[in-house]
Amino acid sequence: MSERIEKMFTQEEIEKRVDELAQQISRDYAGKEIRMVGILKGAVFFMCDLAKRITVPVSIDFMQASSYGSATESTGTVRIRKDLDHSIENRDVIIVEDIVDSGRTLAFLGEFLKSKGAHSIRYCTLLDKPDRRVVDLKADYAGFEVPDEFVVGYGMDYDEKYRNLPYIGILHFDEDK
């Protein structure tokens, strides 16, 4: 079986949308400080680009949580592989994710971070896949809505491949003839 990528969003389209999200977040948090919590590994590219464009004070931290393993569909069980390095008590937190599909991971992390004393929690995702949602969760900041397809690039992977693509594409698996 071979893999083929159909381009969905170009590097320029992504950069433009990240600029727009940064402007919106900067307006919403005027006069405040933000702690951005990036969900490893997929959100790294997006979060770094976003943080550079936000005009209010930003600090960053990372968590690693997974419900995928090496599969293309969520297992339904969220596991925390890496917890925060710094306290978020009384902090305004934005959880930054690469893609929200079922919503289980973000809902779980939101509750987890609330239990650690965050002042507020909002969700920011580059891609939103509402057709896959199984929990009642809506991102406060969403880059693009996408159909129920498996996407790679700009940090998103398939079995650790394709993260470094500067664009986002749909991964297709073709039967070799």
Catalytic positions: 101
Distance CA 156, CA 163 (A): 5
How many residues can be counted in the chain?
177
Q: What is the DSSP string of the chain?
A: -EEEEEEEE-HHHHHHHHHHHHHHHHHHTTTS-EEEEEEETTTHHHHHHHHHH--S-EEEEEEEEES-TTSSS--S--EEEE--SS--TT-EEEEEEEEESS-HHHHHHHHHHHTTT-SEEEEEEEEE-GGG--S----SEEEEE--S--EEBTTB-BTTBSTT-SSEEEEEEE---
